[in-house]
Amino acid sequence: MEVYHRGVVANAIAALEEWWTAVERRQKADNASLSLLRTALATLSTVAAKISQSGTGWTTIVATARAVRIDLELRAERHQRVHTF
């Protein structure tokens, strides 16, 4: 059984967004960061799916996780198009 804390999950989502924003600001892009983001987004999807079954107390965090995942996927695609690896 896995246990999640709302504050920890919310902070992790915010940290992922902040990290990717910092990656986007770098002058030199690297494939490793893009790969790390994709792994993190897959993990975020898995966690969101699991906590969505944990009751209504998680509704806001699940919605945030899904919105952030979609936003970061789009930003990653744009980042990859702009920077040729």
Q: Is residue 1 part of a domain?
A: no
41 assigned to some structural domain: yes
Q: How many residues are there in the chain? A: 85
| Neighbour-count burial of 40, counting CB atoms closer than 10 A to its CB (0-12 exposed, 13-18 middle, 19+ buried) | middle
**What residue has token string 């996927």?**
73
Domain count, the chain: 1
Q: Which two tokens stand for residue 56?
A: 């209504």
Check pLDDT > 60 for residue 80: yes
**Residue 30 region by backbone torsions, left for phi larger than 0, else alpha for psi between -120 and 50, else beta:** beta
In a domain, 34, yes or no: yes
Q: Is residue 47 part of a domain?
A: yes
Provide the token pair at 32. Answer: 């490793």
What residue numbers bound the domain in which 75 lies? 6-82
- Which residue type sits at 5? H
pLDDT digits (tens, 9 = 90+) for 17-69: 999 999 999 988 788 999 999 999 999 999 999 999 998 899 999 999 999 99
Q: Is the pLDDT of residue 1 over 80?
A: no
Quick check: is 56 in a domain? yes
Q: For residue 84, is pLDDT > 70?
A: no
